[in-house]
Amino acid sequence: MQPLDLMTATNIASTAIHIARETGIKPLAVAVLDAAGHPLAVLRDEGASFLRPQIATGKARGCLGMGFGGRELARRAQAMPAFFDAINSLTGGEVIPVAGGVLIRNAEGLILGAIGVSGDTSDNDERCALQAIAQAALVADNGDQLSR
């Protein structure tokens, strides 16, 4: 397995931010983590509010920590709120269970890392994540479906 390298991670984060700029949504923060959950590239666009990098990191880290994309995490958080409350007390809020956290897989389906995006609506955040992963020729897993 070839792990996610810094250049790819930086390009994915930078691409997501530029998609937001070009499509006129709110400025974003983006975190790209390796498969172990550790950051490779965290970028915050100038106008993005200051909690966004932490939220973006939490979206990505929650996906990797639990093994699901953000939409599956959101479903589980709705079905089992006490479980997710406990996890967040346990981890200091590392699991942010909403759309905008997306696993990054290679063509064979192996998890290379994850991206978390925060700044606009969860749906818009996720759209930027999916497009940025596609432009890197990798496979996105948002918890609903694989896309590339």
Instruction: Give residues in contact with its own copies (CB under 8 A).
Output: 3, 5-6, 10, 14, 17, 26, 34-46, 48-51, 53-55, 58, 62, 64-67, 74, 77-78, 80-98
CB of 145 to its own copies, least distance (A): 19
* 14 vs 31: CA distance, rounded Å: 10
Nearer to its own copies, 64 or 104 (CB): 64
Q: CA end-to-end span of the chain, whole Å?
A: 18
Q: CA-CA distances (angstroms) from residue 94 to 85, 129, 138? A: 11, 19, 25
Nearer to its own copies, 31 or 130 (CB): 31
CB of 11 to its own copies, least distance (A): 11
CB of 18 to its own copies, least distance (A): 10
As separate numbers, helices (DSSP H) first and strands (DSSP E) second, the chain gives 5, 6
